[in-house]
């Protein structure tokens, strides 16, 4: 290829002067240079964002003095923390034993830190409901195993009590055959070996919805009290409206 280019260059040098002489056009000499291969430039990778980005802001710590009427679950909700986080931060063996005037350590993220929905939320398990036992108990299939699940924070009538059938039917309408998400509080199981969970169908927390429908009452068993205050508010609304069992004379 290089030799051919050289020959073309010589031919042009011979032909152009003759052609220009006949036409009176000034002679233009083209100098052709044999191209020499060059090495491809080395492309250095651009520095990644992670290499220059500042590290996440450290956790800041504040304190909270327990006021009359406050619960640990309510305090955790006030600061947007899982109850378990508050318990661990303060090494509390029994959340029901907090005292008025007690100072609690409240871990909180700096405003500049990356805050994602999962950074504060407890991990949820996805399960398939296989059977509705009664108003507050179901059976699910989880990772190939069958488990009984007891709803946390509420209680429904037993088989020989008023509103047992209504509570069971309300639970069935909400969860029968559904894929549900289950959220743990502090305890894994109760004394009967049933998983203790808050159960969700979509955005609806079944525990809370049964209280709202008036077929369940708030029942708090420490240390699983994450939503205790929230449930009490819902129950007060059901009582005020006389919904479900709250409309039955003598039940208050």
The residues annotated with a catalytic role in the active site are 150, 158, 194
Rounded to whole angstroms, the Cα distance separating 244 from 252 reads 11
Residues forming a β-bridge with 201: 204
Rounded to whole angstroms, the Cα distance separating 186 from 209 reads 21
* Nearest Cα residue to 223 out of 76, 119, 64: 76
Where b means 16+ CB within 10 Å and e means fewer, 205-232 reads bbbbbbbbbbbbbbebebbbbbbbbbbb
Contact 72, 94 (CB under 8 A): no
Contacts of 160 (CB under 8 A, 6+ apart): none
Secondary structure (DSSP) of 99-159: -TT-EEEEEEE-TTS---HHHHSPPEEEEEEEEE-SSSEEEEEETTEEEEEEESSEE---T
CA distance from start to end of the chain: 101
Contact 224, 152 (CB under 8 A): yes
Rounded to whole angstroms, the Cα distance separating 104 from 87 reads 10
Residues forming a β-bridge with 199: 182
């Amino acid at each position: 290829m290089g030799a051919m280019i050289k020959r073309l260059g010589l031919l042009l040098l011979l032909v152009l002067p003759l052609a220009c002489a006949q036409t009176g056009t000034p002679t233009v000499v083209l100098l052709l240079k044999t191209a020499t291969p060059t090495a491809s430039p080395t492309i250095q990778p651009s520095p990644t964002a992670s290499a220059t980005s500042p590290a996440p802001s450290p956790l800041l710590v504040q304190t909270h003095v327990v006021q009359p009427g406050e619960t640990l679950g309510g305090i955790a909700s006030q600061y947007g923390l899982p109850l378990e986080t508050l318990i661990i931060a303060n090494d509390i063996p029994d959340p029901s034993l907090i005292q008025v005037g007690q100072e609690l350590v409240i871990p909180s993220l700096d405003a500049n830190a990356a805050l994602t929905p999962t950074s504060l939320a407890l991990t949820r398990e996805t399960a398939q409901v296989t059977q509705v036992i009664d108003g507050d108990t179901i059976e699910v299939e989880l990772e190939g195993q069958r488990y009984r699940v007891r709803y946390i924070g509420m209680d429904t009538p037993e088989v020989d009590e008023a509103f047992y059938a209504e509570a069971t039917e309300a639970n069935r309408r909400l969860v029968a055959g559904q894929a549900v998400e289950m959220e743990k509080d502090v305890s894994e199981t109760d004394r009967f070996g049933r998983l203790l969970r808050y159960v969700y169908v979509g955005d609806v927390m079944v525990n809370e919805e049964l209280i709202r429908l008036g077929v369940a009452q708030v029942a708090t068993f420490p240390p699983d009290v994450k939503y205790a205050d929230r449930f009490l508010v819902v129950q007060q609304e059901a009582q005020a409206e006389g919904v479900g069992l709250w409309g039955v004379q003598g039940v208050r």
